[in-house]
Chains A and B, each alone.
Chain A
Amino acid sequence: MAGELASPAASRRPTGGGSSRRIAALRLLRRRLIQAVPLMLGVVVINFCLIQMAPGSFLELMTAENQVSDPATIELLRKTYGLDDPVWLQLVKYIWALVQFDFGFSYRQNRPVIDAISDHLPATLLLMVSSITLALAVGVAAGVVASMKVRTFWDSLVSVAAMFFFAAPGFWLGIMLIVLFSVKLGWLPVGGMMTIGGVGGGATGAGGVLDVLHHLILPTLALGLFYAAIYTRVMRSSMLEVAQLDFVRTARAKGLSRNQVTIGHVLRNALLPVVTILGVQMGTVLAGSVVIESVFSWPGVGSLLFDSVSSRNYPVVLGIMVLGSLVVIAANIAVDLVYMWLDPRIEIR
């Protein structure tokens, strides 16, 4: 979506005041929301078809687990769950239900899909937000340091670290972090989202928040450092590129200090590629959380999705896909708005 924004160079119209920018932002928001409708429809149709193409169904698993031996009972269950309908009719029924904000019913878990997902979604969102925050903070800071200390020991150190965290598989990094910080040093919990079964279990209020944050550290590192490595490399090159532009030279000629030039002029413009990547990577962060959640027993949608795919629990899988897509779309809209804020010259086409 960010790609549809006109580049600063392409934009020649003078920017308006705060009011006109708010109007432009609202227009952007409206346009993006309208565009989201066919996008969501595509997500639903494609995922529905992919799931239908997978062999096996939750009904077969259910009968296996429950030792159902009567073929008549199995046929009755098939009708009860609407599996005897043609696939196209199942799809139409599903879309119609979605329009009414009905995500369906998880027969495996015997509860509405939205309830099943909403139990897990906050944990995943928390992990995503903390990981992205860490990645941005570390990536931007390290990229700035590397660019300011280019071709020095610090630049090399940052580059090596970035390469390491970029190359290290998330699950391996997670296990190594657990071994070091949990098993050997005993500083941080092995997994889970809160202390259970021990002192502090069930803590509420500030204690509970601190407990969750304590548990959040390792999964955030395992998920966020990979993206921090990417942002570091992008930020470094972007900083070096922007530093060569005329307006930076002008700023220096005006007598501004190095830090003033870097922070006030180079950094803000160099952030644009990072923001672009951030929007694009929202989906992969969500996917990456599936692995990290498994390693750290983080009770997010990752484990729910894994179980649901394994058990062909279609309603839950589709529900997660739809809600996940909504999160990614919302994040991209936010990125577009951040774009406008970072560079006032940017105009929405």
Chain B
Amino acid sequence: MGNDRNRVTRRAFGGGVFSAGVVVSSLAGIAPSFAQGAPKRGGTLVATWGGGEPQACYVPAGGGSSPTFSSSKLFERLAKRAMDGKFEGVLAESWKPSADFKTYTLKIRKGVKFHDGKDMTVDDVVFSIGEIWKKYAAAAAMTDFAGVEAPDADTVVVKYNTPTPEFFFSSALCGIVSYVVPKHIYAGSDPVTNPANNAPIGTGPWKFKEWVRGSHFEYVKNENYWQKDLPYMDRLIIRYVRDPAGRAAAMEAGDIQIGVFNPVAPPDIKRLTGTGKFVATPKGYEESVWSTTLECNMRNPVFAKREVRQAMFHAIDRSFIAKTVYYGYARPGTSPIYSPNTAFFTADTYKTGFDPKKAAALLDAAGYPKKADGKRFTVNLLAAGWFTENGKIGAYVKQALEDAGVGVNLSVPDRPTSIKRIYTDYDYDMAISNQANPSEPIPSTTQYFTTDGIKKGVPFRNANGYSNPEVDALVEKIKVETDPAKRRELVFQFQKIITVEAPLLPLVEIESITVASTRVQNHSNDPNYLAASWADIWLAS
């Protein structure tokens, strides 16, 4: 534990993430505001984010970024990742694997109370792992889970059927909604429909007080929080403002002090920071890097040819997309493992950079020369409409591919339609979509490429029908390899194969931003700040 330097959050599709969707990369002269002097106690912090109101304050299975934002202040996980990449205990004080890596033993923190005054015990941890994580919060990552038990009042033992890498296990402890929930509230009920989901009782630094639907959540300081002297502030308000321009105005008027996950449009970032009263930072998203991807449906015989898939990427100028569509607040993507992932990313892969001549040569070699009308073939391009940028990228990709002699029928359906057409109907030849993969590649990243990821009607899996026995075998090895160095090398091999095969690759890696008043201290200090507890945030005078 603690040696790995990578990130661990589970993939969470941003259900409500329909903000401007724009981000900052090169924020020269714009820096986050960290603690200055002794923290000031008391006061109210009003926060917002770049999306809408959640469907419930807490959704056991995740439910997207919005309920993660609201619930992560109330519940706590067993562990978390620090900004330096090390794992740190939260409700677990420590954990260690057995010699065969099939069993992990955790020591649970004592003296922790739920908001209703009841003690948090190992029974709550066992219940959370066995009943909530396994069935809802981390189901995809717990396929080899064999059971959990508490041999004594301080210890919890988690068992697996197969050797489980330590990085994988530690990542599971830090899962985005891998919370410890109160057994006395959830046992014997359907966790999905439990009324407590709308007024959660957790162990976190903030206690639920009120949800004014359509407006805000109000949380108050947990006076019995196990971390003494925290939280610093008396009250935390999470306010929902649908319109990015409205958020910018509310921040400028002083109604909102901090906005996470792209709360305002790029021009407003510069305007707000230009006043000297706000800072903007890309920090706090190292655990949740988003990308915009292009994927090719293998069911179309044209894309069954690898050269055609490679040609599609060579025909597209990713730098242009980053600069034009994202105002320079993104960078070209090269691998299914994103470049900030220092544990598993490798730059030593096949490069599908912008090269129109190579694209033309590949298409010619694949047996698709230009016909008399100048076209080689025509494809249906679906740009998923959940981010407005996807539609703009679709318009550019259409032009770029048409320059390469590929006719494009572009459609930009809304979110439900996009999900249905891509994952249920397979009604596309190429799709522009998005991912937010965590550092741990199993299963969040690999399920887009393995044969067992082909599940009709199951969103955000291998919709393209890509099946490669070599990749399948490699992923099975990654799952059980417990030597970090060997596992890292296996993931490198995975990337090399995928970048050559190119069934799905990122066009750009997006950076998200936080905008905050200069009065706000100790923010953006967690690699997934949206999902952090915000116990140590405070407002300067």
Contacts and interface: CB of A to CB of B under 8 A. Distances in A.
A182 interface: yes
A119 interface: yes
B187 interface: no
A295 B247 CA distance: 9
Given A55-B421, A312-B416, A179 B63 contact: no
Interface string B89-122: 0000000000000000000000000000000000
Contacts of A192: 215-216, 239, 255
Interface stretch (A15-23, A64-72, A151-159, A332-340): A64-72
Nearest to A119: B213
Contacts of A171: 243
B61 A68 contact: yes
Contact of A299 (B44, B62, B198, B214): B214
Find the residue from B53, B64, B455, B458 having the highest chain A CB count within 10 A. B458
B134 to A, nearest CB: 12
A110 interface: yes
A54 interface: yes
Given A68-B61, A110-B192, A196-B237, A303 B242 contact: yes
Nearest to B447: A69
A297 interface: yes
A65 B249 contact: no
Interface stretch (A1-9, A82-90, A128-136, A183-191): A183-191
Nearest to A298: B214
A320 to B, nearest CB: 13
Interface string A309-324: 0111000000000000
A79 B96 CA distance: 43
A61 B63 CA distance: 9
B13 A198 contact: no
A110 B249 contact: no
A148 interface: no
Interface in B30-46: 44-46
Find the residue from B12, B192, B215, B419 having the highest chain A CB count within 10 A. B215
A136 B198 CA distance: 41
Contacts of A166: none
A68 to B, nearest CB: 7
A56 interface: yes
A61 B414 CA distance: 12
A64 B214 contact: no
Interface residues of A, number: 56
Interface in B409-443: 413-421, 423-424
A196 B253 CA distance: 14
Contacts of B414: 56, 310
B273 to A, nearest CB: 16
Given A119-B213, A191-B250, A196 B239 contact: yes
Interface string A284-328: 000000000011111110011011001110000000000000000
Contact of A63 (B46, B214, B456, B458): B458
Interface string A39-82: 00000000000000011111011011111111100100000000
Nearest to A195: B255
Given A66-B59, A123-B214, A190 B249 contact: yes
B67 to A, nearest CB: 9
Contacts of B490: none
Contact of A66 (B136, B193, B246): B136
B25 interface: no
B55 interface: yes
Contacts of A55: 413, 416-417, 420-421
Nearest to B241: A297
Given A66-B63, A175-B245, A297-B242, A54 B46 contact: no
Interface string B484-509: 00000000000000000000000000
Contact of A67 (B140, B193, B245): B140
A55 B421 CA distance: 8
Interface in B9-57: 11-13, 15, 18, 44-46, 52-53, 55-56
B124 interface: no
A342 to B, nearest CB: 37
B249 A71 contact: no
A303 B253 CA distance: 22
A110 B193 contact: yes
A193 interface: yes
A214 interface: no
Nearest to B52: A307
B216 A65 contact: no
B249 A74 contact: no
A61 B15 contact: yes
A197 interface: yes
A297 to B, nearest CB: 5
A314 B460 CA distance: 23
A303 B46 contact: no
B347 interface: no
B417 A56 contact: yes
A212 to B, nearest CB: 12
Contact of A196 (B218, B249, B423): B218
B139 A67 contact: yes
B457 A108 contact: no
A109 interface: yes
B246 to A, nearest CB: 6
Contacts of A63: 457-459
B235 interface: yes
A178 B415 contact: no
Contact of B459 (A64, A108, A295): A64
Given A109-B56, A189-B255, A196-B237, A69 B417 contact: no
Contact of B456 (A71, A189, A303, A306): A71
B154 interface: no
B491 to A, nearest CB: 21
Nearest to A312: B416
Contacts of B212: 196, 299
A147 B287 CA distance: 66
B243 A61 contact: no
B416 A178 contact: no
A120 interface: yes
Contacts of A179: 249
A71 B459 CA distance: 11
Contacts of A296: 246
Given A65-B64, A300-B214, A312-B416, A71 B458 contact: yes
B131 interface: no
A123 B416 CA distance: 28
A310 B415 contact: yes
B213 A57 contact: no
Given A56-B420, A68-B458, A190-B253, 18 more contacts: A54-B416, A54-B417, A55-B416, A56-B416, A61-B419, A64-B13, A65-B63, A67-B460, A69-B455, A69-B458, A71-B457, A123-B214, A189-B255, A192-B215, A193-B215, A196-B239, A297-B239, A310-B416
Interface of B: 11-13, 15, 18, 44-46, 52-53, 55-56, 59, 61-64, 136, 139-140, 192-193, 197-198, 212-216, 218, 235, 237, 239-243, 245-246, 249-250, 252-253, 255, 413-421, 423-424, 455-461
12 contacts: A60-B419, A63-B458, A65-B62, A71-B456, A110-B56, A175-B245, A190-B246, A191-B241, A197-B216, A197-B239, A198-B255, A310-B414
- 3 closest A-B pairs (Cβ-Cβ)? A56-B416, A299-B214, A66-B61
Interface of A: 54-58, 60-61, 63-71, 74, 108-111, 116, 119-120, 123, 171, 175, 178-179, 182-183, 186, 189-194, 196-198, 201, 294-300, 303-304, 306-307, 310-312
